[in-house]
Structure formats: C-alpha cells, structure tokens
A and B are shown apart, each in its own frame.
Chain A
C-alpha cells in the first residue's frame, strides 16, 4: 500500500506552477480569478484546495487539468507545458493523465453507468474494465442503471469510476461533495481517498468545506486569487471519521 511520505517530496514535484494569473471576461465585467499563484504538487499526494467561492481554486484546478490556460505565468506537468494553448497536446494530456470529477457529475444522461465509464476506457491506453472501475466505487450492482435512476451519491461515484478507470496519474475533483448530503459526501470522499491510497494517484480536491481538509496530506488555503498559506497535516484522518 503506497502511502505518501517524505520520499515523494524528494522525488521532485509533478506540477510546477509559477506566477499564474487568469482574467475572465464575464459579459461586460472583467474578473481577476488568479493573481499570481506559485504552487508545487508532488506525485501521489492528496491535496485539498480550501477557500471561499470565487477565490480562484476552480480556475487553478481547470488549468492543472488542461481545461483552461492561464493568462500569464507558467505551469508544467512532467513534460507538458500547460500554459500553451495547444488543443491537440491538451487533449492528449487529458486523455492519458487526468481524471476529472465535477460537482454536478456531468454524466452523459443517455448512457448507463457502465457505458459512461466505457466512454473513457474506450479511448484510454491501459484502462481498467468498466466493471472493475465500478466495483472500486462499490457500484457493481448498479452498472446498468441510467443516471436518472441513481441517487446523487451514486452518480458521483459513477463519475469517480469514470475518472479513475483510465488509471490516471492525476485525479482532479471540483467540489465533489458540493451537491451531496453529509453522509453521501463522506462515502464519496472515502472512495476518492481509497483511489489515492491504492492507485497512488496524485489527487487534488477542491472544497469550501474546511472539515474535509482533515483527510489531506497538504491543505492549500486560497483567498482572493492567491495561495494564502499551505499546511501539512501531521495527523491525517480517514474520510469515515469526518463529520459536518
């Protein structure tokens, strides 16, 4: 069982972000989402990005995942320069290395759980079978259900299975429990933590719920487009111990 420790820190960061800024044009308003973020992330670590809504954490996550590009600054993942606006290499990066979990699941409504996972395994290089992935999140009994036939927690677990089925190096989760009640949220976090533990996937979870910080190796506090501070959890707890 791989567990995150000092060794990983010594092997060098997997993500290196320097001076990241991002400005959005929202209608007639300009929004400065990131104002110069420096951050390193290491292989296999479990990071929670904590901050109020609008603090820029989703923007950072999107840039790390190759869903968006920074306005200025640099960000690298291994050999990929994520600050370049190159659609083909971004597509390749997402396809090979990244798994996403979104707040609203973003399942394809016309596909069953199994098919939603297959959507990704069919284009991945060394994937699990959809059945394995769904078993990992405890949904082996619900594989042929459509999203509308499942609860929110179940849908989010399908989304996690879909994200990890390709065996990504990185798992990026944007408010994965935001739309769920506490009990279901804990179950979902437990799955995410297990994936991090068992597959050694570098995991970044965004939340504005400070309680969740307890399950991380490191907690990055966000505020107003900047990293406010970074804390290391000396006593990491398991997801099942969380309460809110």
Chain B
C-alpha cells in the first residue's frame, strides 16, 4: 500500500515533469561527462599496463655504435637486471612500389616470442628467411600491405627486396614517430622487424649489437643500472642509457594520457561543480515554492524530519534518474572513446575498466549538491512556524532601484521599474541565477577554445617558425658541401642547413634530454620567435632555450647550463643561456651553427637542411631525393600540418565536442528552470495584473524581462568566466611536448553567447505559452 504522502510525491513529480526532466538532464550530462572521461582514462591506463606487462616492455634502453655480443653477459650480471636483449637497429629507406614520396623505416631485429618488447602478431608469422620482414600494423594498413607482398629497402646502401610475412604491434612502438617529428605519419614512417642474423649481416653486426634493452627486477635501482650500463657501453660508443620514462613512444603515450588525465580531471570537475551549483539553486527555489504545503503538512503533525525526507525523496528521484541515465551514457561514450584511442595508440586490445568508485563519486556529488539545495530550502520553510508559513510571504521591502536613483526614472515605464526593483530586491536569488547562466555560458567556451587553438598553433608553428617546404636529414653528419648538392637539385629555391646534437642539459640537480640545433644566422625559412612572436636573432655565442625548457631547468637568460653531449666523444661543457624562445611544441636548445661546430670541436658539419621548393617541381624533387643514399629522411611541411590536424581531431577534439554538446544541454536546463520557477513564483502577481487590464504581452514582458536582463548580464560574465577556465585548462595541460596557448576566436564567443540566448528565447517561449493560460479567477479566489 503506497502511503498518501508518497502518492503526493509521484503526482507532484508528474506535475513538474518538464522541470524535473531538465534537472535530470543536467545531472545526466555532468555524470555522463565524468564517467566518460574517467572510464576512458582508466581503461587506457589499464590497457597500457597490461600490454606492457604481457609483452615485456623493457625498463632501460641504450643505443651504441657497435659492441660484441659477449658483452651481453656482463650487462646481465649488473645487479638488479632481470633480462637483457641485445639487438640491431637501423634506419632504412624504403621504396614502396606505389608511393612516390620517400619512406623511412626503423628496422629492428626480432627478439623472438620470449624476448623483451615482444611482438603482438596481428597477421602472418615471424621472419625466418633473410629477406622476410614483419611490419607494424598501421604502416601495413597505410600502404594496404598483406603477407606475401614485396617491396624494396636500402639496407646499408644496398637495395634489397623484402617479403612481408606478418604484421605486428609492439609495446616499444605504441607511438611510431620519425625522429624529430611529433606526430605519427604511417604512410611515410614505420617500424619493421627482421631476423637478427639477416639484419646483423646487412649492417656488419654479425655477432655484435648496436642497441640493447633490459628489464629490471622489482625494487632495482634504475640509476645504478644506468650508470653501470653506461660504463660498460662507453668503449663501444654508447649514447647513454635511459629509462622507460625517456623512451620516446612511452613518453609520448604517457604525456598524452597525462593530458587526457588533466582534461579528465578538469572537465568533469567543472561540469560536476557547475551542475551541483545549478542543482542547488534550482532545487532550492523549487522547494521554496512549496512553502505552503510544508506548512500544511506540519499543521497536521508531520515532523520537520518527515517533511524534509518527503522533499528529499522528490529530489532523489530526479537525481537518480539523472545518475542512471548519465552512467549509461558515460559508459557508452567511454567505450566508444576508448575504442577510438585504442586504434589511435595501436593497442592490441582494450581492457575496458569501469571503476565502481567513479560511479559512486559521480552519484555522491550529484546527490550531495541536490540534497543540500533541498535541505536548505525545506529547512527554511519548516523552521517557520506553520502559522507564518501558511500566510503568504509578507510583501517584500522594495526600494527605488539604483538605476532609478541615477535619474533614469522618467525613462523607465512602470513595468520596467517593476522588473528592476524585483531584481534588486531579490539580489541574492538574482545573483545566483545570473551566476548559473554565466557558468553555463562559460563551459561552452571551454569546449570551443581548443579548436581555435589548434589552428593558431599550426599558424605559428608552420607559418611563422618552420616555414620550409621540405626538411631533409642525412644518415650521418655530412660535410658542409652537402648544402650545395641540395642547392643544385631541380626546384630547390633556397636552402638553410642545420646541425642537431643530442645532449643532456643540466642545471643543478635538474636535467633534461633533448637536442641542440645549430642554425644559420639570419635564416628566413627557420625562425625562432620571442614571446611576442617576433623573430629572434641568433646570438654569435651562447644558447637559446625554449621558454618552457628554461622553466623546467629553472634557468634564466645569463645563467650557465651544463651541456653533456650524447654522441661522439661525449664532451661535457658549459654554455651561457643567451635568451629564450617561444615554442608551443617540443623543447630544445638553439645555437648559431658555427658556434655549435666550435662547441663540438668539429669542422663545419651538417645534420640536415630545410628547403623551400617550387611546388611545381616537388614530385620530381622527391624522386631525386629518393635516389640519394645519404639522405635518411624527408619530411614535408604540408604533411606535418595534416598529421597535426589529424591527431588533434582524433583525440582532443572529440572530447571537447562531447563536452560542448553537454554544456549546451546544461545551459538550456538551467535557463529553462529559472524561467519556470519565476513563473510559479510570480504567477499570482501577474494574474492580478491581468485582472487590472494588463495584456498578455505586458505581463510576459514583466516576467521575461527579468530573465532577459539577467541573461544579458550573464553572457559577458560567462564569457569572462569561460576565458578564465580556458586559461586554467591550458595552464594545467602544458608539458614539454605541448604548450597549448589560449586562443579564442570571436566566433567562439559568439557561439557561446548564442547558445545562451537561444536557450533563453526557447525557455521564454515555453513560459510565455503557460503565461497565456493563467487562470485569472482562481488567482482571485486563493489566499495570495
């Protein structure tokens, strides 16, 4: 038998179903966002962990010139080392039959099914014969390769036919990035695996290795192991061992997951916070309107607690509907999103993980927010003596508004004065509504800013700083005359050369592995920019650092930095920080080319060049470069831009798209509820005005004018608030791979403002319809 008071609950809910629905939608969206972000992040982390574990991703890596295989035993003997994998690695040029542009690959010797960094074979089998290779799955996909297909590679200067026998994924190459590039480009760069013997013979590494990976025992001291490895490898041209933390693929993956984590902690937090605030306000007002019913229930002997519980249940039902649908939505979106990321990161499988804690948190936050709003409002009504609560509220203390005092009074009609005085009298309530609308407007902006930012970053990165059409890197440092060889190629209009040296920069206890790029002074293709994006001249001496790198190392212009070179004789020297440059992607050091050559105590040596090219001759230039054996890689700027946009679209922007949609729903939910509540609160007053002869349009003006004024004030505030939230997100998301500037185009502001305006107009129309149906007679009959 359902209790009468519970029947009241359900019928009241049914009565206010559209408002209840709007509130439930707000809860749904905030819970949905929360769960989507956190399950996606949780699933990706879980997948990463289990992938690394199942395929024995190594803990320490080192590259060297050439060491004899027996050294392996000594590496294995280092205390804390579990398993050692020696291998051969080479950068090779490929000749793909149906692809004109140069293609590069990293060729790795296969370490077998039980080795470290094991392959997850997608198709086919491991290589057995000398001409067989397994290629990374995304590369195979990009070139539509299948087992049995053949293509050519230039191995150590010799052109050799290879047969594809399988495709695979590896935990070591989750992100397959060409050296110096920030984005994967599977069409032009891939990873492939060959038999150890075959690859060793091709590179004179029979019985020797030029790369190694090892795994650590639990509790091992990684720095100790690294020091020992460096000691052992030093005579063999070791370039310095590093841990997983500095491993390229892992670092990129981790940073992306960290950024995702930042988004996942900020967006849901903001959404939950805003939804909580709104729930609190909306539900508080909704319950406050039930003042008379609270009094009646109390008059018949219902206790405060019983009344409170009654209204709390009402709120609970709404919130629970929101939480359940939000959880379902969040799990579904999380699944979709994790799937997208799984593809993007080339995970062999996805461990979808929905933490019960996540749902509990989202539920608790929603319940708490709504509950607090309800409790506060009910308590206020319940604490009134019933006699008082049953009387209509005493007429409020109205005053002339400050707008009138300013002398504008005679310009204001009577209804306009009513609006302004009402807003002023209910200052707190008006402020809360205004804040609610402003927040809704703000979160829309946060969803939009990344889209504009991406365009801006492309413009700065590729339009102002890296303006080459092609960049060319040599297999080994080349003599200066290589510049002229490039200059003479058909279609090349301008050449700027560079030298890159791998280094570890040290300042006190802080250090960072990166490269120093020696550039031609006065270059026009490659430019360094200062904080205001003006070109910076290269100092004849000293080093320029990316501003973020300087921050990481706690360096300022004029400070000394220790430079440990990680190639050749590995000299360690000091350099003066001559200044800072602004960069949004990556961090490095820059020097004058000649100064860098001096610093390295080497002659005029080059690592590569930037070219500007006559676009009509690009194709033939590609063909020429393809035939030049000393050229390790060629990257096109347009391709880099495309890669950048693709990555952005596949990752960040999907998130922000979903966030935007949710923000729009939330903003509508808020405004609609504000309008409906205003109608209920002032219905009697407005009906009386109708009786006095006011037209429908006139009373609509009085009611909606208030909403209109609040909305108009809320929009600029919301845009400001949104901007501030964007800066906060950008600040939280910066790392050494990316610094996202806050760029908001006028259209972003316009869109956010428009959404709020349209929500207000639609809500106004919905309320207007109800306003037209006000029952005048009933109003006159009731106590109010």
- Residue ranges of A at the interface with B (Cβ–Cβ < 8 Å): 26-28, 59, 62, 65, 67-69, 87-88, 91-92, 94-96, 98, 100, 102-104, 106, 108, 110-111, 115-116, 118-120, 122-124, 162, 166, 179
Contacts and interface: CB of A to CB of B under 8 A. Distances in A.
Nearest to B385: A68
Contacts of A27: 394-397
B77 interface: no
Contact of A67 (B8, B299, B395, B783): B299
Contact of A120 (B8, B301, B383, B385): B301
A100 B299 contact: yes
Contacts of A162: 300
Interface string B770-784: 000000000001110
Nearest to A120: B300
Contacts, number: 87
Given A68-B385, A115-B4, A115-B8, A104 B783 contact: yes
Interface string B359-396: 00000000000000000000000010111101000111
B114 interface: no
A106 B297 CA distance: 10
A27 B3 CA distance: 39
A59 B304 CA distance: 22
Which secondary structure dominates where chain B touches chain A?
A: helix
* Chain B interface category by residue count: 20 to 34
Contact of A110 (B12, B299, B781): B12
Contact of A123 (B302, B390, B397): B302
A102 B298 CA distance: 14
Contact of A111 (B11, B387, B394): B11
B299 A119 contact: no
A24 B426 CA distance: 22
Nearest to B395: A27
A108 B303 contact: no
Contacts of B385: 62, 67-69
Interface string B1-45: 001110110011001000000000000000000000000000000
A110 B15 contact: yes
B185 interface: no
B388 A68 contact: yes
Given A95-B300, A122-B5, 13 more contacts: A26-B394, A88-B303, A91-B301, A94-B300, A96-B301, A103-B783, A110-B7, A111-B7, A115-B4, A119-B5, A123-B300, A123-B302, A123-B306
Contacts of A26: 394
B487 interface: no
Contacts of A62: 385-387
- Residue among B293, B299, B301 with most chain A CB within 10 A: B301
A166 B299 CA distance: 13
B296 interface: yes
B4 A116 contact: yes
23 contacts: A27-B396, A28-B397, A62-B385, A67-B299, A67-B386, A91-B304, A92-B301, A94-B300, A96-B301, A100-B299, A106-B390, A108-B8, A110-B15, A115-B4, A115-B7, A118-B3, A119-B4, A119-B5, A119-B8, A120-B301, A122-B3, A123-B301, A162-B300
A162 B12 CA distance: 20
Contacts of A59: 387
A62 B299 CA distance: 10
B287 to A, nearest CB: 15
A158 B12 CA distance: 20
A1 to B, nearest CB: 28
A13 to B, nearest CB: 22
B8 A111 contact: yes
B292 interface: yes
Contacts of B386: 62, 67-68
Nearest to B782: A104
Given A27-B396, A67-B386, A95 B4 contact: no
Contacts of A91: 298, 301-304
B303 A110 contact: no
Centre residue among A88, A98, A118 by max chain B CB count within 10 A: A118
B4 A106 contact: no
Nearest to A108: B8
What 4 pairs across the A-B complex have the smallest Cβ distances? Answer: A95-B301, A110-B11, A68-B387, A62-B387
B13 to A, nearest CB: 9
A106 B296 contact: yes
Contacts of B7: 110-111, 115
Contacts of B292: 106
A27 B300 CA distance: 28
